[in-house]
Structure 1
Amino acid sequence: MRVLIAEDDSVSRLVLRKALEEMGYSVLAAKDGEEAWELFQKHPFPLVISDWMMPGADGIELCRRVRSLREKGYTYFILLTARDSKEDRLHAIESGADDFLSKPLDRAELASRLSVARRILDMEHRLREANEELARQKEELELKTQALEMSQEMIQQANLRFRELFENVPVACYTFDAGGVIYEWNRAAALLYGWQEYEVLTCSIFDTIIREEDRELMQELIQRVMRGDGSTVESVDRCRDGSTRYVLRSLFPLHGSAGEVVGGICASVDITQRVEYERELRALNERLESLAFTDALTGLLNHRAMQDHLAEAFARARRGEDTFSFVLLDIDHFKRFNDTYGHQAGDEVLRLVAQVLQDNTPSDSLVSRYGGEELSVLLPGYRLKDAIPVAENLRQAIAAAPNPYRQITASFGVAEYMPYMHSPSDVVEVADAALYEAKRAGRNCVRPLLGGAHRQAA
């Protein structure tokens, strides 16, 4: 995999480049953000590792520029920094950064971050392939829709020149009387349904191709035909071998010499393949939508999805419809856990905590992996006094959850929407400050904050 690095410190640049090359990566190094941007425009890279603080275009600006070239595919962007404040990291994530590497460089951490990057880039590649497949299937469906429209036009022509063309029309056609008795049956109908003409003449359509559950609807359609009105419906018909086919059924009245309605003609276009394509497309679209808003590791909502739900809850609260509370929690000493047991064990712990949250939160709540080892819970309709017991219950459930390593605990910060707040980030800021208080109090506890209290404390 090709990697672009941007680092203004020559020693750090050399160390990072050597580490990447020893891991098998093809590396191109730039001494600052501007040089990296020029290289990226010429040769887009799937992975960029950039120092945050650089003269000229810093890491944040480089990230914004990379994100502006969406047509060149997705680039996983890692910021190399000694900064570790929540505000800085939130700012970086909002600017498009995917992950962070702490300075000085730790090779084990670098390998772990790169493993995550490869998994995400692989998922993005598979999503892109799925989109291309969807586009191909859409084109096929459009072609089949055009074919269906052409078939319907042919049906209208057959109605005008019935005696001449009926037998040769490439659409399954049959005529019937007011009771549904068949009087003509063309070759296309024999191919579609498996019954030959001599087998169905003077038989009822209700004894041959119409399913029992569709009897009432078909009787109503025949009555409409006998009143001189046509109709087109999608239906499921029976075949001789017991199988079923999806059809687009068009019914038209047949008139006698005096203009009276003497019966009807039905033209059935086989749309089974189209229906199956549509079903597959719906399933793929649902899968794509799920991937776009789901954290791959835990199965929870991802940061983007939680931001969307938080914005909706904030808008409802501003309109006076409903209040809400927001909980931020952080797994205690998670980095130490990773260092002791390895990142695979860390992933297992994240999945375990995610499952505990899902099992113990109210049914109308929303749970997300907010970032790294930080998770969040949105509680619609909950005041602060109601949200605190929920958070405490979650804290106890996490501490009691069995795992093969050591006891897992988490610190919780709880905030409630207040009318003076201007944006969802205000709620997050209060919850984050409350989380900080929980950590300062020794971790493994719940700390609530009223909006504004964190500023007064500061």
Structure 2
Amino acid sequence: MEEGFPLLIVEDSPTQALRLQTVLESLGYQVAVADNGRAALEEVLREFRPLVITDWVMPEMDGLDFCQAIRKLDLPGYVYVILLTARDALDDVVAGLEAGADDYLTKPVHPAELAARLKTARRILNLEAALRKRNEEIQKLSITDPLTTLFNRRYFNEELPKALSASARTGRPLAVLMADIDHFKKVNDTHGHQVGDQTLRAFGRLLKEGLRKGVDWAARYGGEEFAVVLGETDLDGAVSAAERLRLLTSGLTLEAPTGPFRVTASFGVACADPRRGDVPSMEKLVAAADRALYTAKETGRNRVEAAHDSP
């Protein structure tokens, strides 16, 4: 058994709590004690404990109310609750399980039986954690571009409207950059698709590393086109950010079987600024950035152009 697995005892009797704590610590558990359900909820919120053994009859909040309350909390994992009580009638067992308990033990409990029940609880908790981790991995894959590891078009389409709503609510500007690797078809035709993929990965990495963590984010929009969302950034700030990314791109050296080569990128910038009027829809904002990108490419590439007209 893993040493120090966190466990919470909820028991209003100091004598019963100490007896149970002694047994559990001898089994290797890291034990905390609360003397009623309300204190137990505070303890779980303060330090998450996935395994709880609770008495039924307690002051302030009893075991049934505690079970019901803990099922309503948004916690980082599942909490397995064992209800420990002298009540052993079938109706009591059913009431405890329906309140949210996972298992039920009657007093006095034998240490060997307790250890066996806890082993089962640990097995279920491990399965739940593995399932949760797998679901998180699946969720991450569903919003990630597999080649560049940036967010994908789906994430962009789902999250940009939320960001625009937040911008309207807070009154803070938000900018979108549309970026396109110049002459990317020539890279594929000259060096092959593997080098083309390496180029896309390198550009994606440059975008990710060049943005503010937790504020800005980038997505692969399609092919060699990328989108960047800059939080709390007005048009001038977005143009400066795009220019910095453009310079970083032009200084990037890439490798091919025929030797090193360089690429450039063009950027189109548009801004939603609640201080200057209504926040546009995602479609209008992206269209404005796209028009600016088209202008950048039509006027020589390796440029930054801004949409100064309202999206």
- Is this a same-fold pair by TM over 0.5? yes
Matches within 5 A, 1:24-35: none
213-222 vs 358-367, greater mean Cα deviation: 213-222
**Runs of 5+ consecutive residues of structure 2 not aligned to the other structure:** 1-12, 41-52, 68-78, 88-105
For residue 423 of structure 1, the aligned residue among 275, 278, 281 is 281
User: In 2, Cα distance between the equivalents of 1:207 and 1:299?
Assistant: 49
Matches within 5 A, 1:225-240: 231=63
Q: Once the 2 structures are TM-superposed, how far is the Cα of residue 286 of structure 1 from its aligned partner?
A: 0.5
Q: Deviations over 1:282-306 (max 9, x none)?
A: 1111011111111111110111111
Q: Which structure is larger by alpha-carbon Rg, 1 or 2?
A: 1
**Higher relative contact order (CA closer than 8 Å, sequence separation 6+):** 2
1:216 partner SS: strand
Give the aligned partner of residue 339 of structure 1: 189
Give the aligned partner of residue 250 of structure 1: 83
Give the direction of change, closer, same or farther, for the CA distance of 1:374–1:282 in structure 2 (3 Å limit): same
2:302 partner SS: coil
Give the direction of change, closer, same or farther, for the CA distance of 1:225–1:369 in structure 2 (3 Å limit): same
311-320 vs 363-372, greater mean Cα deviation: 311-320
Give the direction of change, closer, same or farther, for the CA distance of 1:423–1:222 in structure 2 (3 Å limit): closer
Matches within 5 A, 1:54-93: none
User: In 1, Cα distance between the equivalents of 2:54 and 2:141?
Assistant: 47
For residue 265 of structure 1, the aligned residue among 67, 83, 108 is 108
Q: What RMSD in Å do the two structures reach over aligned CA positions? A: 3.3
Q: What is the identity, as a one-letter code, of the residue corresponding to 1:408?
A: V
Matches within 5 A, 1:259-298: 264-266=107-109, 268=114, 269=117, 270-298=120-148
For residue 436 of structure 1, the aligned residue among 270, 294, 297 is 294
Give the aligned partner of residue 53 of structure 1: none
Give the direction of change, closer, same or farther, for the CA distance of 1:320–1:450 in structure 2 (3 Å limit): farther
328-337 vs 311-320, greater mean Cα deviation: 311-320
2:262 partner SS: coil
Q: Once the 2 structures are TM-superposed, how far is the Cα of residue 451 of structure 1 from its aligned partner?
A: 2.8
For the pair 1:214 / 2:214, whether they are aligned, the reply is no
TM-score, length of structure 2 as denominator length? 0.67
Give the aligned partner of residue 373 of structure 1: 224
Q: Deviations over 1:191-232 (max 9, x none)?
A: xxxxxxxxxxxxx443332456414348998887587x9737
Matches within 5 A, 1:341-360: 341-360=191-210
User: In 2, Cα distance between the equivalents of 1:296 and 1:223?
Assistant: 50
Q: Once the 2 structures are TM-superposed, how far is the Cα of residue 361 of structure 1 from its aligned partner?
A: 1.1
For the pair 1:310 / 2:160, whether they are aligned, the reply is yes
Q: What is the identity, as a one-letter code, of the residue corresponding to 2:108?
A: I
Give the direction of change, closer, same or farther, for the CA distance of 1:205–1:421 in structure 2 (3 Å limit): closer
**Runs of 5+ consecutive residues of structure 1 not aligned to the other structure:** 1-176, 183-203, 235-245, 255-262, 454-458
User: In 2, Cα distance between the equivalents of 1:223 and 1:283?
Assistant: 31
User: In 1, Cα distance between the equivalents of 2:254 and 2:58?
Assistant: 72
| Overall identity of the aligned pairs, in % | 30
376-385 vs 402-411, greater mean Cα deviation: 402-411
Q: Once the 2 structures are TM-superposed, how far is the Cα of residue 417 of structure 1 from its aligned partner?
A: 1.4
1:208 partner SS: helix
TM-score, length of structure 1 as denominator length? 0.46
